[in-house]
Structures are given as structure tokens and as C-alpha cells.
Amino acid sequence: MDGYPYREERIGRVVSVSGSQVVILLEDDQAEMEKTGHPASQIGALVKTYVPGATVFGMITSMSIPIPSQEAGQSEMRIVEIDLLGESVHKSDGSSSDFQRGVSACPALGDGIYAASQEDLAKVYFRPTESTVRIGTVYQDRSLPAVVSIDDLLGKHLAILGTTGSGKSCATALILNSILEHHPNAHIMLMDPHNEYSQAFGSQAEVIGPANMELPYWLFTNEELAAVVLGFDARQAVAETKILGEAILASKKAFAGADADTHYIWVDTPVPYRMSTLMQILDNTMGKLDKPEKIRPYMTVRTRLEALRSDARFAFMFGDLAVRDKMAQIIGQFFRIPPGEKPITILDLSIVPSEVLNVVVSVLCRMSFDFALWADRKVPIMLVCEEAHRYAPQDVDRGFEPAKRAISRIAKEGRKYGLSLCVVSQRPSELASEILSQCNTIFALRLTSQKDQDFVRSSMSEPCQGLIDSLASLRNAEAIAVGEGLPVPVRVCFDPLPDDRRPRSGTAAFSQSWKAPSADMSFVESVVARWRRQGRDSHLESALNAEAPPPATSTRQPSLAIAARPATRPAQSRPQQPSQQTIQQPVRRQPDLAAMGESSALDTGGHSIRKAPEPKVTIRKDAPA
């Protein structure tokens, strides 16, 4: 279907009108048209009719033969249902206006229905303006480019949905690359939980990964930090959460200084504080208590904080030696302000421990909204949330509630403050309905699950039943696009991406890889080394890509689960990975609480740590972090 090689012709007449839906009866001579694959005889085809003062366009949504004939060749009644889309108003000089949504008058019974010409298709589907970008071609006519309006697409949020392997990641990369091609000063942050997109934008992307990711603990709210420290016990650990909040507030005010104005500081104010100060406050408070049962919640908080600080996986939170107010620099890096030559940030969240991933997403989404709120819409920002169903699930018992709350707030209110949300999901039925319903443009790739199809259908803002019914039969890199970002609902064939711009989301080539040995024990050792380091060191990455062993060094690693911090740290901006030699980290022996009348063993990742209150320490503002 590379064009309409026929003149405008009548295909039927109106026999029923109900709101925006019209039923037509095909002419008797249209049977041959259907056999030859005439474009106007396809689901999703564009047709038109004439009303006083305008040309009304509609889309075929279903076709049927109510009473089939018993023998081939006999005349049959052919019924076609059409959804009215919009109109082009006739001008006094004989020309017609651009296509616009909605109709001022419906066709009357008996009015003729005509196949749309190629000129009509261009008028409806292709409206080139300064704010439109190309993403592919129109399925009904491959010579017509499919374009989206940037202001409408981003101003009212969008969703990219599709089952695994349907081309969802490539569609996301294509849309973003098309935007960046025409808007090099954009501000886009993409949360990438699987490290798929690091190469999809070339030199235009600022990739934040293990080496440069920095999200200090003092940017977390009390609820978020409690979820990191206490884990799934945070909801039940009311006493520990309260203790942590009081210590955080006191630490923030102590960092500001006695003479500083601290009336605006509360427990969730994003201002720095020293973790050493917080520990001292916990110790001082415990020193004043005389019963073990009162000390236990303080010990729980302190012990788990110590475990986190000594865990290399949490270096992005606790890695700084000196506490400095770098909030502006961190936000500038995340949101590309100024963009320079890198208008998009790829946040590699695969390095974040899975047990706190939802908390980190909560921090990022909340910071995005708060920054947009106080920026007065001067710097529009786009937030792309991959695997959105993980962070904002429909099930209230799953996920992290603050993350869902932050994403939901962006979906409902972000438009007012210049914050655009793009949700990407392979399981839309598991995504919170209040979030998807706020996405006014939806790109639905192949969806085989009936539950997902019904969920997407209920979220569509426009009637396009015929197109939605074809979701299960879409080919790869095809989508049903509906919403404000496009002139009308349309079946889109996405443009192919160059190999160097494709996300790393392809399916493994099992048949090719298993024909010959592809790895040896040295490869396994290099994987184990990277696994233990919880990072992607350059020499290990090269070894993995080349399927060769890394430099001949030992891969033994120290235990980081409960090891206490050394008394002093090396002078460096971020903690370095342990050397390849076996490292014995000092572990402070803590006195038993049995002498106090009761023993208290605290669970920290399967290890039992016993700790007693330490002597009271005077807080010094110049103390190390």
C-alpha cells in the first residue's frame, strides 16, 4: 500500500448514525474492490463524506456480512462501521482549511461515503510544523511520514506499551532520538533499570553509572531513608522510624550551626548533615536510657546504618568523605542544566541494589517534581520511566508507596509545571490505572494478553475500537498511536534505528552461540569478579565483551556485609574498590548487653551484631562525616 492509485470514488451510503459512529452499506460493485485489496476496504482505512460547509473524515473500525449467501457469487449485504474523526471546513474561495478534530455536523442518512485520496491522507495524517518530528510512516500509505507534535506529546504525557520483543525499547529510543535531533537543548532524564540505553544516544547522552552516580543520603526524606535502613520492616518499625527522624532533624540543625536561621529546616528539608553527627546523637540518647528494651530500637537503627555505610553497593549514598552542599550540581547533572552537548541523562539503575531500587526511583521522581515546582516552568523537563509497572503497580500491596505517589503526582500535576512524564511498560495491566489514564498519547505495540488489551482500551481517550482489536496481530516495530500528540489515531510503522543507536534489548542468539564453544573458565572468573565488585570496571567489561580473561589477578573479595568501617579512609572523592589482594577489615568488638540484664541480637543481613551504648560524645561541627 504505497499510495492510492485510483481516483476518488463512492464506496457506500449512510444507513445509520449514532453520535460519532456511522454505519454504511457498501455499494454492490464493491465486492470486487475488496478482492483486489483496495485500501478503502481495510480496517483503519480513512474515508470521507460531505456535509454543508465541510468535508468530514472517518476511520473504518469494523466490517461484516450480516446474512452470508449460501453460494459464492451471490449478492450480499456488506456493512461497514466508521468512527468520525474530524473535518476540513470549506472556505469562500473554494479551498478548504486544515484538518481539525471534531465535527460540526454529522452526515445524514443516504449520504455517500467516499474513499480518501492521497491528498486527503496527507491533510489528515501529515501536518508539518516547527514543533513536529518524524517517527515513522503511516501504515495506510507508506509514502506518508508519521509525525508527532512535541508540545502536545510532552505537555500531556505519553506512554509506550508493548509485550517483550515487540520493539518497545527501540520505539522509545527512536522517539527520543527524533526529539533530540530537532531540540539539542532538551532536558531529559531516562531511568534505565537494565542498562539498555547507554549506547542508544551516542555522544548526546550523559551516562551516570557506577563511577559517577551520586545520590547522597541527606537528599532522602525520613520515609525514604527509613525504607533503606529498615527495609521491609519500616512500616512496622514505628519506633525506629521516629527515632531516625528525630536524629535526622537534630543533625541538620547541628550542621547549619547554632547561629544559623533554622526555622525553615524540618526533617524532610533537603539540606546536608553529617552521618557521624547522627550516630553521636543516637549514642548520646542511648547513654541516658537505663532499660535494654528502650535501647533496642536505637541499636537497630545504628547497627543497620553502620552496615550500609560499610557496604560498597551503597557508595552512591554514603561514599563522600566530606559532606558538602552539592544539591545544585547533582540536579544539574541529572537534568542536564546546562545541557552542553549532552541533552539527555541515562541513569543506569542496574547498579542500585534491588532491595532499595524503588526507594531510589522515589527520590528521583520526587526531586524531579519539586525542582519543576520551584523552577516556575522556566526549564521544561522530561522524565522517562522504564519498567514503570515495577515502581507504580496497580496492586496496593506491591512496590514502594512513596515511589508510586511521586509518579502519580507527576502524572496528575506535572503538566502545570513543565514536567513531562513518559511511562514505558510491558505489562500495562499491572500499572496503576490513575497514571496511565493521565497519558494523553499512547503508543501501543503488540499486546498478546487480553487483560493488557482491555486495560489499554479502557485508557484510550478516543474511540478507535477497530485499531485496538488489531493489537495482537501487529508486527514488530508497529504501534497503534492514539492521543493528543498525533492528528488522528493511526497505525504507525516506526523508522528503523541505526545499529549504533539500538538499545541493548535484543534476544540472545541461542542457535548461533551454541554451535561452538563461546567461553571458558577464565570468562566465568571475570564474571565472578564483576559480580563481587557490583560494578563494571573497564578491564572487566573489556574481558567480558572479548570473552577473554581479565588481567591475571586474584578475584578474592573482602566480606562487606557486616564489616565495620576502618578508623580512617583514603583521601579520595569516592571510595575505591578493594584491591585484588585479600583484605582484612578491622571489626570493632562490641560489649555484650547481658551485663545489663538482657541480651539484644540485631538482624543485619543474617549476621548477629551485639552492641552496647557508647560513651557520650560532644558534637563538633567540624567533625568528619
How does pLDDT run across 23-32, given as a tens digit for each residue? Answer: 999 886 555 5
The verdict on whether omega for the bond into residue 613 sits within 30 degrees of 0, i.e. cis, is no
Each residue's pLDDT tens digit, 160-195: 999 988 999 999 999 999 999 999 999 999 999 999
Strand-strand pairing, 10-18 and 112-115:
antiparallel
Query: Is the separation of the CB atoms in 625 and 319 below 8 Å?
Result: no
Each residue's pLDDT tens digit, 547-596: 444 433 433 333 333 333 333 444 444 444 443 433 343 443 343 433 33
pLDDT of residue 591: 38
Please report which confidence band the pLDDT of residue 290 belongs to, taking 50, 70 and 90 as the band edges: confident
pTM of the model: 0.79
Extract the runs of DSSP E, i.e. beta strands, from 514-623. Answer: 602-604, 607-609
User: Regarding predicted confidence, which is higher, 449 or 74?
Assistant: 449
pLDDT of residue 590: 42
pLDDT of residue 546: 52
Q: What is the largest CA-CA distance in the chain?
A: 100
For 530-548, the DSSP string reads HHHHTS--HHHHHHHHHT-
Average pLDDT over every residue of 449-463: 81
pLDDT of residue 536: 62
The residues, any chain, with a CB within 8 Å of residue 595's CB and separated by 6 or more, are none
Q: Which amino acid is at 84?
A: L
Whole-angstrom Cα distance, residue 62 to residue 369? Answer: 43
Least confident of 153-157, 355-359, 536-540: 536-540
CA atoms within 13 A on the CB side of 8: 14
Q: Is the dihedral of CA 371, 372, 374, 377 positive or negative?
A: positive
Query: 422-449: string of b/e by CB count within 10 Å (b at 16+)?
Result: bbbbbbbbbbbeebbebbbbbbbbbbee
Query: Cell digits for 308?
Result: 550500609
pLDDT of residue 292: 82
Can you tell me whether residue 618 is helix, strand or coil?
A: coil
Average pLDDT, the chain: 82
Least confident of 104-113, 245-254, 473-482, 606-615: 606-615
SS (H, E, C) 379-393: CCEEEEECCHHHHCE
pLDDT of residue 153: 93
Q: What is the DSSP letter of 96?
A: B
| CB-CB neighbours of 338 under 10 Å | 10
> Is residue 498 exposed (0-12), middle (13-18) or buried (19+ Cβ within 10 Å)?
exposed
pLDDT of residue 279: 95
Whole-angstrom Cα distance, residue 481 to residue 531? Answer: 41
> Is residue 339 exposed (0-12), middle (13-18) or buried (19+ Cβ within 10 Å)?
buried
Each residue's pLDDT tens digit, 33-72: 555 455 666 888 899 999 999 999 999 988 899 888 887 7
Please report which confidence band the pLDDT of residue 324 belongs to, taking 50, 70 and 90 as the band edges: very high
Most confident of 87-101, 525-539, 579-593: 87-101
For 222-283, the DSSP string reads HHHHHHHHHGGGTTT-HHHHHHHHHHHHHHHHHHH-TTS--TT--TTS-----HHHHHHHHH
Q: What are phi and psi of 192, to 5 degrees?
A: -110, 100
For 301-357, the DSSP string reads HHHHHHHHHT-GGGHHHH--SS----HHHHHHHHHTSS-TT--EEEEEGGGS-GGGH
pLDDT of residue 35: 52
How much of the chain exceeds pLDDT 70, in percent? 80
| CB-CB neighbours of 411 under 10 Å | 24
Average pLDDT over every residue of 374-390: 94
CA angle 263, 267, 272 (to 5 degrees): 85
How much of the chain exceeds pLDDT 90, in percent? 51
Counting every residue written for the chain, the total comes to: 625
Whole-angstrom Cα distance, residue 85 to residue 107? Answer: 13
pLDDT of residue 28: 67
Whole-angstrom Cα distance, residue 393 to residue 379? Answer: 29
Query: Cell digits for 36?
Result: 483486489
Q: Is the pLDDT of residue 502 over 50?
A: yes
Average pLDDT over every residue of 305-326: 91
Please report which confidence band the pLDDT of residue 322 belongs to, taking 50, 70 and 90 as the band edges: confident
> Is residue 232 exposed (0-12), middle (13-18) or buried (19+ Cβ within 10 Å)?
exposed
Q: Is the pLDDT of residue 261 over 60?
A: yes
User: Regarding predicted confidence, which is higher, 577 or 388?
Assistant: 388
pLDDT of residue 138: 92
Query: Is the separation of the CB atoms in 490 and 116 below 8 Å?
Result: no
Most confident of 391-400, 422-431, 565-574: 422-431
Q: Is the pLDDT of residue 440 over 70?
A: yes
Q: Is the dihedral of CA 503, 158, 438, 46 positive or negative?
A: negative
Q: Is the pLDDT of residue 264 over 60?
A: yes
pLDDT of residue 515: 85
pLDDT of residue 541: 53
How far lies 563's CA from each of 351, 586, 612, 618, in Å?
Answer: 21, 7, 17, 26
Q: Is the pLDDT of residue 74 over 60?
A: yes
Query: Cell digits for 198?
Result: 547507554
Q: What are phi and psi of 198, to 5 degrees?
A: -60, -25
User: Regarding predicted confidence, which is higher, 557 or 273?
Assistant: 273
Q: Is the pLDDT of residue 320 over 90?
A: no
pLDDT of residue 575: 42
Whole-angstrom Cα distance, residue 358 to residue 197? Answer: 19
